[in-house]
Amino acid sequence: MPSVPHLLEVPIDADDQAQIARARRLFQVQRESRWRVAQGTARERIAKLRGLRASIIRHRQALYDAVRADFRKNPAEFEITEVQLVLAEIAHATRHLKRWMRPRRVPTPALLAGGRSRVRYEPRGQVLILAPWNYPFQLLFSPLIAAVAAGNVCILRPSEKVPHTAAAMARIIVDAFPEDEVAMVAGGIETADALLSLPFDHFFFTGSIAVGRKVMRAAAEHLATVTLELGGKSPAIVDRSADLAVAAERIVWGKFVNAGQTCVAPDYVLVHQDDAQRFIAAARADIARFYGATDEARRASECFARVIDGPAFERIVGVLDQTVAGGAQIEAGGQRDASERYLAPTLLSGVQWDAPVMRGEIFGPVLPIVEYASLDEALARIGAGSKPLALYVFSRDRRATERVLRGTTAGGTIINHVLCHLANPDLPFGGVGESGQGSYHGFAGFRAFSHERAVLSMGRVGLGPLYYPPYGPRMRRIANLVSRWMERR
C-alpha cells in the first residue's frame, strides 16, 4: 500500500477554505490512482472491505459516543439501525463480489453468427458521496461499500450538522484506506458546493429534494451519472382487514425511531373512518409502552432522540401548531422544550388533506392520522401527490394489497411492516420521481457504481461479408430473406 499523507492533516473542524483546498488536492491525488484501483481483483477489493469492517469494529464505541453527543441517539438504536446494516452490507458484498465481477454472457443474434457477446462491469471512476445527518454512519458507509466493491476511488462528505460523528467516521476511514483511494472532507455548504464543481464521474447524494436538484444540475455540467436518494411523504395504509394492534405498534415504532427523522418513516397514516378511534387508542398505548406513560418519563427516556437543530425544531413545531389551529386535535404528545430540541411523540387526528402538516415531508415526531371512507379514495389521494420513497400497506386481504400495489407507485413497499426493507441487501433501495432516482444495496449498489460495458467478440467466420458492398441483386435477395425471417419471429 503506498505511503500517503494522513487524512486528518486538516482537522475535521477546519474552516471551509482549508477544506476546499484539501478537497481539490485529494481530487487530483485520486485521479492519479483511479486506473490502478479500477484494475483491482475481487480478492483485493474483498480485502479492502474486510479492512473497513475491522476498522468499524475497532471504533464502535467512539461512534456510539459521537452520535449520542450529536442528537442524543441511543447506542442500541444506533447499533440496530446503522452499524448492523453496514456490517451486513459488507458481509453480503464480500460473499458475492467474485460473482458480481464476472463478465455476464448474453445471447448473440443470428445476424451476428460467429460472435460472442458479454457485459463487463467496470468502475465509474471517481465518485463523490454526499451523506445526510439523520443516519450519518449508515447513509455514508453503505454507498461507500458499493463504490469500493465496484472498484472506484471516493471522496466522502458527511453533514456538517453531526460534527462528533463526522470526526469518528474520519478516524475509521483513516484506519481503513489510503487517501488516494478513499478520503473524507468535512466543512459546510461552501465545501459541498466546491466538491460539486469538480468533474467526478458519479455523484451519490442522500438528502432533501431541493439539494437533490442542485446535485443533479452539477452532475449535468460534467455529464456525470448520479444516484439521488431523496424523501417525500411516505404513507401507511391500514386496510379494514388489518390487525389494528399490530399495525399501530409497527407504525409507532417506525415513525418515532430517531425522533421521526427517517427518510422512509411513515409520514402519515390512512385509517378507515370506522377504525380511526381504535387505531388512535392502540397507538397512544404503544407510545406509553415504548417511551413512558407521562411526558416527564418520555422526556427522560434514553430511547427517544432529539430533533437535530434549532431551525428543524422550529419548522416542525410551526407546522404542528398551524395544523392544530386549523382544527386538528392532538391525541398524544405535543409537549416541547426548545432548549433541548425535545418534541414529544405526537399523534394528530382530524387532519385534512390541505393542512400545513400535509404539505411537505414532516421529518420529525409528528404522526397525522387521516381518515378515509373507501380504499379507492385513499389511493386517489396518494396518487394526487408526489411519488413517495416508501409506501406501507397493512392488510390481511391479498386482493386489497394487490389493488394498492397496482394503483400506486413508490420507491419500495412493505406489507404489514415498516422500514425493514432496508435490511435486505438483495432488495434494491431507491426512490422514484421526486423521491429519487437510481438504487443501491447489494448487487444494485454494485451496478450503481459500475458502467456496464458491452463487448462483442467476432471470430474469423461469420456473416459479415454477405453485407459488404457492392449492393447488387444478390444482396437485395439476402436482405429480403432476412426481412421475411425477422417478420415471422
Catalytic residues: 229, 263
Beta bridge partner(s), residue 182:
154
Q: Which residues of 123-134 are buried (b: 16+ CB within 10 A; e: fewer)?
A: bbbbbbbbbbbb
Is the preceding omega at residue 470 within 30 degrees of 0, hence cis? yes
* Strands (E) located in 41-130: 104-106, 115-123, 126-130
Determine contact, residues 275/282, Cβ cutoff 8 Å. no
DSSP string, 321-334: HHHHHTT-EEEE--
* SS3 state at 389: coil
Torsion from C-alpha of 88, 246, 320, 256, nearest 10 degrees: -30
Determine contact, residues 223/200, Cβ cutoff 8 Å. no
Determine contact, residues 354/328, Cβ cutoff 8 Å. no
Residue 135 CA to residue 261 CA, distance in Å, equals: 9
Residue 312 CA to residue 125 CA, distance in Å, equals: 36
Determine contact, residues 369/358, Cβ cutoff 8 Å. no
Residue 112 CA to residue 107 CA, distance in Å, equals: 10
- For 197, half-sphere exposure in the C-beta direction (CA atoms, 13 angstrom radius) is 10
* SS3 state at 237: strand
Q: Which CA distances in Å does 204 have to 199, 373, 426? A: 13, 41, 20
- Residues near 166 by beta carbon (within 8 Å), at least 6 away in sequence: 12, 136, 158, 159, 160, 184, 186
Sign of CA dihedral 67, 71, 72, 75: negative
- Cell 500517503, located at residue: 4
DSSP tag of 81: I
By DSSP bridging, strand 450-458 and strand 153-157 are unpaired
Sign of CA dihedral 396, 397, 402, 405: negative
CB atoms within 10 A of CB 189: 10
